[in-house]
Structure 1
Amino acid sequence: MRWIALIFLSALPAFAQDLQGNDTAGNWRVTHHEIFGIWNSICDERDENDALVQRCYLRRAEVFSSRPKFAAQFMFITPEPDGFKIEFGIEAGTFFNPSGFRIEKEQDVIWRTRRPGCLTGLSCTFEEHRADGLLEAMLNGDAYRFEFRDRHGQSQDLTWPLDEFGAAWADFNTQSQQRNLLAKQE
């Protein structure tokens, strides 16, 4: 169970560290948590240097192989000064099929990435206009499809339904706006 926590927490080091820099949830207090199918809309807060720090994120985490060959994949969406950031947590040693990281609508591919970092389990982050395009596909698509070989060499075919994503996205935006976390629109 400790490995599961470490993998999830390592996805966003700034999000998973206490005030001393330890990889732990530390003193974050959850102020909002709603579940929409497979999507979690979460906000929390803590005091840092006599100031209240708040954050919100939309999360999906899936453990697709249990021990002894543990493997998981996850995604975080966070508000950033220039829009949104979408970060996938993919284990090193994971290799996606060339078209295996995609969003489908009625079995047609409406979005895919062939970015080397995403397809090889390295860094897989989308920001600014790339995040906007991905979010639009998530709001319009039916499902994420992931076809890959995990770090243990096992073939995997994951589907993340997007039918509840619109409601999770609306909740996440409302909660982020209430905390003044969204980028200012000009």
Structure 2
Amino acid sequence: MRTLLLFLTLLAAPASAQDLQGNDTASNWVNTHYSAFGIWKSICDERPEDGQLNQRCYIRWVDVFSGRPHFGGQFIFITPQEQGYEVEFGIEPGTLFAPNGFRIERDETVVWRTRWPGCLTGLGCRFDGRRADTIIVQMQKGGAFLFDFRDGRGVSRSLNWPLQGFPDAWADFQTQARARGLID
């Protein structure tokens, strides 16, 4: 649990990330861009690696839904990949979602949902290629991500991540990533 707390704390700071050995520590990443659009953050940073400059851009939201002493949080990262994008959700181990509890709704209609076991149980939740594209398209159309689950302590939770501001965050992320040569 302390590792997750440290990880989410580091995610909340624009210039923090893993060090070159993969440890979750404040590192030598230098923030070069940070813009907020509602809850959605468009971020770029860079650091030298093996004599070359490594640059990255991403969209992020970290939702700390329970403070001390029973810390709990959930996050999303959207990053460019060699072939398209990756959408990753960070979910605490022990989380159990309702069967329809991981979804995007617009006008009280479910427009996207996952029933992927890894997502619904906190074991791992990543989408790439067409699956990532489908999520991103729905996010741009508005509505909200809705999450209904029991956390690792058995507490029922409902999170609402409004998608208002996401289209602007996406446009900013695209502009910044393109300027750095991270996407075409």
Match of 2:23 in 1: 22
Shift of 1:24: 1.5
Match of 2:39 in 1: 38
Match of 2:64 in 1: 63
Instruction: Deviation per CA, 1:133-152: give whole Å up to 9, x if none.
Output: 01111111310000000111
Q: Aligned runs of 1:139-158 on 2, under 5 Å?
A: 139-158=140-159
Shift of 1:3: 5.7
Shift of 1:34: 0.4
CA distance, structure 1, for counterparts of residue 7 and residue 136 of structure 2: 27
Instruction: Deviation per CA, 1:37-94: give whole Å up to 9, x if none.
Output: 1011100001111111100010000100111111000000000000000000000000
Q: Is the 8 A contact 1:8 1:74 kept in 2?
A: no
Shift of 1:2: 8.2
Describe the SS at the equivalent of 2:47: strand
The residue type paired with residue 101 of structure 1 is: F
Match of 2:81 in 1: 80
Q: Is the 8 A contact 1:117 1:123 kept in 2?
A: yes
Instruction: Deviation per CA, 1:3-27: give whole Å up to 9, x if none.
Output: 63323558xxxx9321233222310
Match of 1:126 in 2: 127
CA distance, structure 1, for counterparts of residue 72 and residue 19 of structure 2: 25
The residue type paired with residue 41 of structure 2 is: N
Q: Does 1:89 align with 2:90?
A: yes
The residue type paired with residue 29 of structure 1 is: V
Describe the SS at the equivalent of 1:176: helix
Q: Is the 8 A contact 1:104 1:145 kept in 2?
A: yes
Q: Which runs of 5+ in 2 are unaligned?
A: none
Instruction: Deviation per CA, 1:96-139: give whole Å up to 9, x if none.
Output: 00000000111110000000000001110000000000111111
Instruction: Deviation per CA, 1:159-182: give whole Å up to 9, x if none.
Output: 000011000000001000000101
Match of 1:172 in 2: 173
The residue type paired with residue 6 of structure 2 is: A
Structure 1 residues 2 and 123: alpha-carbon distance in aligned structure 2, compared to 1, 3 A threshold: closer
Q: Does 1:100 align with 2:101?
A: yes
TM-score computed with the length of structure 1 as normaliser:
0.91
Match of 2:6 in 1: 5
Q: Is the 8 A contact 1:93 1:151 kept in 2?
A: yes
Number of aligned residue pairs: 179
The residue type paired with residue 125 of structure 2 is: C
CA RMSD for the aligned pairs?
1.8
